[in-house]
Structure 1
């Protein structure tokens, strides 16, 4: 298991995409679980298979990223 907390926060957009892509490739190649805390839901949608969304300290959604990161969810949490 690889745990990462905002690993791309100090990177420009192209490096963010590069790092997250490499993490996804590494996880798939080695059969690893990677748990990454992100504030950018676009990155979560693009690079994760599963996501958990926390708002106001509460878990509000959990499941396959494309199923839970929706316009309805964004409207509810923002």
Structure 2
């Protein structure tokens, strides 16, 4: 696995430290959601098609199967 950039690691550690009280509740909520599995059936066909369009063939198959993790990148210009 590629080593995490030192600056990113330091910033991540700072965020974890500063948000430890609220992070605990957040992580508990995320573990509960993860145990339920992905809910891609709640995503519109158009959004799922946009997500799959840039994927490799293997990525498209994984999305269609629907049991992989949900990982997203949020930007200020997310038009989906």
| TM-score, length-scaled by structure 1 | 0.30
Answer with 1 or 2: which has the greater Rg.
2
**RCO (CA 8 Å, sep 6+): is it higher in 1 or 2?**
2
